């Protein structure tokens, strides 16, 4: 029986675009479809503006024609027979040629040749992602479902399309967990077993650090990340990436603190944008050993590793603070540490209020104070640069932070230098 998708969830603008693509396809005697996440989310009733179009035939040529009609730009990736069209309104659409894929070896990137939409859907990861919608004018909105994806979607099931799926592409293990958590679906039992078997066979050693890192980044960007991390622990996926990688027992509390830290920074630190990804990774890598070993296994960027690895050291600095610490002491203790680490520390539930107050004051106030006197000023006043300079300048700055001096003149007087 032919099944048509309800289109009332698509905005009129997107609907018009899809119709235009269908018409152009008809004119060029090409069958065209919107596929994957867009169709899945349309059926679920969730907005998705990632538009992937499958063309039976050459998608690159088709994308160029469409870019011309729209007055946009097309960028082709000839090796994969794909192209991206950017419209004048900056909306991007991806075009792929319907294809068959074969995997030369497990974990390797596939080799690609033209195929039908049905073949193209069968190469996909899960049945719920193997759905397409026809765009040709006389069948616009018709569902193409060769793998019982609609049935699985209605039953809340994540199901691969063949038994070697996780071995061909181990990133699908992470993807299965991500969709399961995002939609509160269930990975079917046979696939849970295949995930365990694939992990036991060591498939994670066959994929690049970058591909694993990307998948973990995707998971960290999801609202249901805690459920997904929990599921990864059930499959011992972290241990499979590296045996030293243990997730902290209080991960849920760390995750909540990370969310609060990111929100607080977006409101209170508008002049110093923080890297939210650093804070998210702080929930996963909590020991110096894991940061070093996993950082190297996943080829995490140096800057990220450096910011992660200050945590233990920073704990000492935080412990050195006391209720009576003066602003200059707070400044001196906290200044060496990255904002992300400090904002994260600020939101830890065990942080006493007085200490949180000091960290907050450093972040929102002390950090931005500019010294009234600098080295050039001293030279201009005839002083010869010397080792003592840094000392004097810090003393003047500390007095300023502690409210003992508030004008340049007072700072010179404090240093006993004639203006």
Give me the least distance between CB of 38 and ligand ATP, in Å please: 7
- Distance, CA of 66 to CA of 92 (rounded, Å): 12
Pick the closer one to ligand ATP by CB: 35 or 241: 35
Residues 92/85, Cβ–Cβ less than 8 Å: yes
Contacting positions for ligand ATP (CB under 6 A): 36-37, 50, 52, 124-125, 129, 169, 171-172
Give me the least distance between CB of 78 and ligand ATP, in Å please: 19
Reference 70, options 3, 14, 141, 17; nearest CA is 17
Give me the least distance between CB of 112 and ligand ATP, in Å please: 12
CB count in 10 Å sphere of residue 133: 24
- Distance, CA of 405 to CA of 407 (rounded, Å): 6
Residue 326, helix vs strand vs coil: coil
Sorted by sequence, the CB contacts under 8 Å of residue 207 that are 6+ apart come out as 107, 170, 171
Query: What percentage of the chain's residues is helix, strand, coil (to nearest 5)?
Result: 55, 10, 35
Pick the closer one to ligand ATP by CB: 219 or 411: 219
Pick the closer one to ligand ATP by CB: 277 or 395: 277
Give me the least distance between CB of 52 and ligand ATP, in Å please: 5
Residues 135/25, Cβ–Cβ less than 8 Å: yes
Pick the closer one to ligand ATP by CB: 125 or 191: 125
Give me the least distance between CB of 36 and ligand ATP, in Å please: 3
- Distance, CA of 410 to CA of 419 (rounded, Å): 10
State the residue number with the nearest CB to ligand ATP: 37
Give me the least distance between CB of 136 and ligand ATP, in Å please: 21
Pick the closer one to ligand ATP by CB: 48 or 260: 48
Residues 395/371, Cβ–Cβ less than 8 Å: no
DSSP letter at 348 equals: -
Pick the closer one to ligand ATP by CB: 134 or 172: 172
Give me the least distance between CB of 400 and ligand ATP, in Å please: 51
- Distance, CA of 174 to CA of 165 (rounded, Å): 12
Query: CA–CA distance from 365 to each of 72, 108, 162, 268, 361 (Å)?
Result: 47, 51, 58, 10, 5
Pick the closer one to ligand ATP by CB: 39 or 278: 39
Pick the closer one to ligand ATP by CB: 132 or 298: 132
Give me the least distance between CB of 306 and ligand ATP, in Å please: 30
Pick the closer one to ligand ATP by CB: 193 or 221: 221
Reference 112, options 75, 78, 80, 76; nearest CA is 80
DSSP letter at 203 equals: G
Give me the least distance between CB of 50 and ligand ATP, in Å please: 5
Dig out the tokens for 227 from the structure. Answer: 């459920």
């Amino acid at each position: 029986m032919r099944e048509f998708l309800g289109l009332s969830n698509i905005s009129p603008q997107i609907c018009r675009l899809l119709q235009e693509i269908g018409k152009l396809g008809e004119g060029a005697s090409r069958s065209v479809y919107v596929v994957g996440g867009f169709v899945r989310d349309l059926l679920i009733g969730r907005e998705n503006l990632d538009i992937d179009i499958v063309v039976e035939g050459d998608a690159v040529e088709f994308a160029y024609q469409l870019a011309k009609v729209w007055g946009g730009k097309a960028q082709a990736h000839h090796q994969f027979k794909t192209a991206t069209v950017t419209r004048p309104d900056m909306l991007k659409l991806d075009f792929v040629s319907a294809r068959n894929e074969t995997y030369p070896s497990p974990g390797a990137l596939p080799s690609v040749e033209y195929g039908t939409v049905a073949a193209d859907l069968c190469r996909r990861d899960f049945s719920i992602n193997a759905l397409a919608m026809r765009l040709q004018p006389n069948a616009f909105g018709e569902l193409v479902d060769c793998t019982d994806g609609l049935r699985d979607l209605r039953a809340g099931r994540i199901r691969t399309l063949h038994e070697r799926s996780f071995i061909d592409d181990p990133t699908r293990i992470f993807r299965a967990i991500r969709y399961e958590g995002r939609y509160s679906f269930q990975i079917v039992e046979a696939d849970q077993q295949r995930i365990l078997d694939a992990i036991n066979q060591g498939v994670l050693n066959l994929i690049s650090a970058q591909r694993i890192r990307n998948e973990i980044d995707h998971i960290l960007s999801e609202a249901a990340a805690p459920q997904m991390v929990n599921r990864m622990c059930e499959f011992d996926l972290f241990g499979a990436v590296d045996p030293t990688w243990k997730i902290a027992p209080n991960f849920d509390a760390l995750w909540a603190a990370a969310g609060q830290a990111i929100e607080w920074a977006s409101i209170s630190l508008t002049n110093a944008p923080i890297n939210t990804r650093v804070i998210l990774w702080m929930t996963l890598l909590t020991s110096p050993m894991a940061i070093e070993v996993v950082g190297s296994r996943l080829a995490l960027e140096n800057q990220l590793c450096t910011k992660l690895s200050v945590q233990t050291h920073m704990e000492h600095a935080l412990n050195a603070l006391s209720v009576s610490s003066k602003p200059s002491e707070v400044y001196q203790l906290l200044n060496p540490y990255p904002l992300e680490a400090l904002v994260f520390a600020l939101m830890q539930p065990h942080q006493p209020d007085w200490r949180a107050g000091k960290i907050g004051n450093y972040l929102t106030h002390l950090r931005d104070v500019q010294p009234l006197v600098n080295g050039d000023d001293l030279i201009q006043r005839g002083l010869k640069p010397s080792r003592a300079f840094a000392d004097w300048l810090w003393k003047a700055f500390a007095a300023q932070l502690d409210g003992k001096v508030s004008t340049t003149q007072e700072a010179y007087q404090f240093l006993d230098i004639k203006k």
